[in-house]
Amino acid sequence: MHETVFVKDIIKQAKRQGKVEGIVIEVGSLAPIEAEHLENHLKGIVDWKIQVKQKKGIVECECGFKGEPEIITREHDFVLFKCPWCGDFPKVIEGDKIILKEVKCA
């Protein structure tokens, strides 16, 4: 499962801060894993308080569109999306990352 790679990295980053009690993670809608899956996987491994914030994906297309793309499919480890105006494949501006935003330590 590709979730394991993301989870291990988040746990490693958080533990560098000390004795972890909770974390806040931001998951973009265009990230390679859905926020709910990441949260469930983390909760199965650690007993920390986990807060997941979702961030909308924003793209910019050559046709002039800037906003949320139309998601065509979400597969194992990738998201395929297009411009809702012209159907082309736009450039991602934000919302394609998983970011450890905060670590709460004892």
Q: Residues 34-86: pLDDT tens digits?
A: 999 999 999 999 999 999 999 999 999 999 999 999 999 998 788 999 999 99
* CATH of residue 101: 3.30.2320
Q: How many domains does the chain have?
A: 1
0.85 surpassed by pTM: yes
60 token code pair: 């910019």
Determine contact, residues 40/50, Cβ cutoff 8 Å: no
Per-residue pLDDT at 3 exceeds 90: no
Chain mean pLDDT for the chain: 94
Task: Spell out the SS3 assignment of 74-96.
Answer: EECCEEEEECCCCCCCCEEEECC
17: domain range? 3-105
